[in-house]
Homo-oligomer: A and B are copies of this chain.
Amino acid sequence: MSDRFVALDWGTTSFRAYLADAAGRVEKTVSAPEGILAVSDGDFDGALERHIGDWDASLPVLAAGMITSRQGWVECPYVATPAGLADLAAALHTHVSKRGRHIAFSTGLSYRSSDGLPDVMRSEETQVFGSFDEANHFVTPGTHSKWIVVEGKRVTRFTTYMTGEVFAALKGHTILGRLMKDDPDNDEAFVRGVTSALADPAGFLHRIFSVRSLALFGEMAPEHLSSYLSGQVIGTEVAHATAANPRSADYVVLASPGIGGRYVRAMGLAGLKVRHGNPQAIVKGLARIAVAAGLLH
């Protein structure tokens, strides 16, 4: 058993390694835009050593993210909710690298909602396990945003929203992007989009057309259209999630300040009590899983 470990957050588009202790305190960090899709010929072993080759090979490594998916290094089946640290620790898949590193892969979670549809995540659960002493309701914004509920230190349910990816597709591949001129976030336009969404949550396919019609009528500047669309899309997520979750709970947003700030703003407009959490909670979460698995003390 070690008193330090390597936490590996290896996603679709980025690689992050942290040299940390059992409390999740970070000594060193390496990050690179070498997500799993950028690794050629499946040589994850080589990619790992390029980034952390000078880190002690005797330290245990705990890896999470899309690196455990079908496109990753080792595919690990999802663990069904409700699930806590012990469940994830029991599901670790260990692999010894060419360099002799013991790498434990921590898999994601699945949930079957009341409408019968399956839902899945990989890596957000580690952020939550690093934060569950802070709150019971978490939001992890991003390409696929998640609303995650913790009860008794276990993830009991969660809901995915394709918010980030839908925004990018609308902006990049529909008529809505054509009139846009980008500028820094415009709060007024963002709030107008969120407010519109909160007032008519089911009207998404109609409301987004106003990005075009407001521009056609000269009622919104081209520089504000992107923020307005962002408000429409994020507001649609927040409106639906607000209806499905308790109003009185404390919500924590786990994200970088930019996107996290938009969510805090939108959730505040929806009347939720919300604050920023630690976006690096993934290190603390992986440390807790490693401790639960007896790899770290």
Contact = CB atoms under 8 A, between A and B. Distances in A.
Oligomer: number of copies = 2
List 3 A-B pairs, minimum CB-CB distance, nearest first: A201-B202, A117-B210, A161-B205
Given A117-B196, A202-B243, A162 B144 contact: no
A41 interface: no
12 contacts: A117-B210, A117-B213, A118-B216, A119-B213, A120-B213, A161-B206, A161-B209, A162-B205, A166-B174, A173-B173, A202-B202, A204-B236
A209 B119 contact: yes
A229 to B, nearest CB: 12
A277 B72 CA distance: 51
Interface string A147-190: 00000000000011111011011101111100000000000000
A213 B158 CA distance: 13
A104 interface: no
A115 B120 CA distance: 36
B203 A240 contact: yes
Contacts of A239: 202
A208 interface: yes
A45 interface: no
A174 B167 CA distance: 10
Interface in A35-90: none
Interface string A190-204: 000000100111111
A203 B117 CA distance: 12
Given A173-B172, A202-B240, A203-B240, A214 B166 contact: no
